[in-house]
Structure 1
Amino acid sequence: MAHLQKLGTSIADQIYPTFAHYAPLLRANASTIRSTTCSTFTYGPSPRHKLDVYTPLRHSTTGSRHSVLLFFYGGGFVQGHRTLPLFALDGLVHANLASFFVQKYGYTVVVPDYRLLSHGAEFPSGGEDVALTMQWVYDNVDKLGPVEEESRSGVDLFILGNSAGGVHVSTFLFCDTFSKARADMLNVEKTKLRGVVLLSVPFSYGLVQDWEKREVLDQYFRDAEQNCPLALLKDTRRSNPGGLDFAKAGTRILVLNAEWDPEDECLRPRDEFVQEWWKFEDSKSRCALAVDSVLGQNHISPFLSLSTNMKSEEAWGHLVANFCNRVSQ
């Protein structure tokens, strides 16, 4: 993993060398990755509203419930797909991530596409797509794989949002637009939102200097300063002094960053986000947050490193699964 440090912390400089490094590792494990059963469904009205459901032969169960993980990939609001075509990997990415959690932990994994700028995405469309995906899961438990007798009591739902995907998850969690949708879902007994992992998420953009990125942000957010996750969290704290609705319902949040995430886009905004979170006065909201980091990874590498069958590369995946299993108990 030392090779990643040499690439620096610029996301643009990381992308192609990081893909080039992991491509042969994933190809070497292609048969294992492809052995995971995958089905595709429609979850909304847009042509982009498709999702892949990866299912285990036997579910992991915690207290007679089985675990489902939703993964929202990154891509800077302009790119991304359920399976990336780069480096002739023939559908291995993000199937490798799904396969890791399916085969090692018995989770069902759902990987949705969401609208990009080229499909008319505009804030808060990312949050809308997260809400639609979650609603589909709530309404289609029968499509999440074979249900053993011991797991019929319900589903423990987890969300992993990476980079821009994590921005969309944050929009769903903190934007008032989705307060009713959150209330409806949080009150369902059969399917419980137990935990959310926000991986390498740019919580604010005030330090971004790249004009091309600023143009993209202006197109999506219209006003990034007002609609970024940090601003939404601040608005939530001011308008809901009693605390976060999902925290009161028992949902836990893990903010996770790679060691070589960019300082200006991820690490300093994360610190501001965490400091703002600690200002909540109620103990349930404060205690809902955990913060951790992944050594030896950069902004691009985590989703590529799973199913490489290398202990050091897959350590972050085990960290996420341990978080999910712990908050289920």
Structure 2
Amino acid sequence: MEAIKELPRDIVASIGPTLAVFLPLVKAHESEISGIKHKTFKYGATERHQLDVYFPSGNFGGKAPVLFFVYGGGLMSGDRVFEPPADLFYRNVGAFFAKQGIVTVIADYRLYPHIKFPDPAEDIRDAMVWFVSNIDEVNKDVSTPADVDNIFIRGHSAGGAVAATLVLMPDLLPQDLRPRIKGLILQAGVYHFRDIVPLNPDVTSSYYGNEVQQREREPLGLVERAPENLLRGLSIITMIAEYDPPEYLAMHQDITKALNEKLGTPVQEIVMQGHNHISPNACLYSGEGEGWAFEVAEWVKVKSGI
């Protein structure tokens, strides 16, 4: 982890060097990662409508909570498994949380330029609806089945915005799905564009619209306008890395403050010490920097009554 603090804070500049730090460490655990049972399903019409499900090994007793992980990529890139030689990344995420006794789902979603607001959130919603509706098929021949009454969502970076949009838009989730969602984990997300220069302005304007529309559609605006009862009963964590870019720290502070005011009680905050924007997911199954993930896994299990 010492190498991370020496890397650039700029997200794009840090991706390659960060993955290079962790790839050999994760590679050493390739057989264990590959040994975690997983299945791939198609939940919609296109090749971007696929999801991977990772299952706990052994019998944890009863059913397991479900964690949907929504990856980032600026709404321009991202896949549920990286391209070789980095193809252990995101597989390591699914396998890590499955090892902790949590069924983990990683779904692809449509990307720019083939999207309009809120298509990616609708894709994740559709993945969740498919998962719940086809749970008998999903749970077939597994030792620890998924509990679709205990669903949690973790979104990172642009995926944090997608996850927040899904939960915060009042009419996006079906009425029979929303009560199943017990927790939301927002990790270094893109929450607003107020005094923030977007990483890619063309993508931002194409997806969110003009400045007025951006203010209405960005996650911070959705929190500010959310009905009082929308988040009732929902547990929330906000997370930021020690070496995240300053604008992400500012957005983290803004969304956390807004959620605290909306809920009337503080959400749980996690500062991932020693990490940059990329390393929290890359480190899983490396044996280094995994403390945040153990904390999240324990939180999920406690909130689901395990």
The TM-score normalised by the length of structure 2 is 0.91
- Residue aligning to 1:256: 239
1:206-231 Cα deviation digits (max 9, x unpaired)? 33336x61122112211333311001
Q: Which runs of 5+ in 1 are unaligned?
A: none
Counterpart pick for 2:66 among 46, 65, 68: 68
CA distance in 2, matches of 1:288, 1:327: 16
Q: Distance in 2 between matches of 1:36 and 1:152?
A: 15
CA contact (8 A) 1:55 1:145 kept: no
Task: Return the match for 2:200 from 209, 213, 227.
Answer: 213
Q: Please identify which structure carries the higher helix content.
A: 1
Query: Are 1:114 and 2:112 matched, yes or no?
Result: no
For residue 163 of structure 2, what is the aligned residue in structure 1? 169
1:34-61: CA deviations, max 9, x gaps? 1112211111223210001112233545
**1:230 is matched with which residue?**
220
Q: Which runs of 5+ in 2 are unaligned?
A: none
How many Å separate the matches in 2 of 1:31 and 1:215?
41
Contact 2:103 2:146 in 1 (8 A): no
3-state SS, counterpart of residue 153 of structure 2: strand
CA pair 193-59 structure 1, distance change in 2 beyond 3 A: farther
Instruction: Give how far 1:194 is off.
Output: 1.7
Contact kept? 1:173, 1:182, Cα under 8 Å:
no
Query: Residue 125 of structure 2 corresponds to which residue in structure 1?
Result: 131
Match of 1:195 among 183, 191, 196: 183
Matched residues in 2 for 1:303 and 1:115: separation? 21
Partner letter of residue 13 of structure 1?
A
Displacement of 1:301 in angstroms is 0.6
Identity %: 29
> Contact 2:139–2:145 (CA<8 Å) still a contact in 1?
no
> 1 CA distance for matches of 2:51 and 2:183?
20
8 Å Cα contact 1:108/1:145 also seen in 2: no
Alignment equivalent of 1:272, drawn from 228, 233, 254: 254
Q: 1:122 to 1:153 in 2, by over 3 A?
A: closer
User: In 1, Cα distance between the equivalents of 2:53 and 2:145?
Assistant: 18
Q: 1:301 aligns with which of 273, 279, 287?
A: 279
**Which deviations, in whole Å up to 9, do the C-alpha atoms of 1:292-323 show, x marking residues without a partner?**
21101110111110011x1x421111011011
Equivalent-residue separation in structure 2 for 1:107 and 1:261 (angstroms):
27
Aligned to 1:98: 94
- How far off its partner does 1:145 sit? 5.2
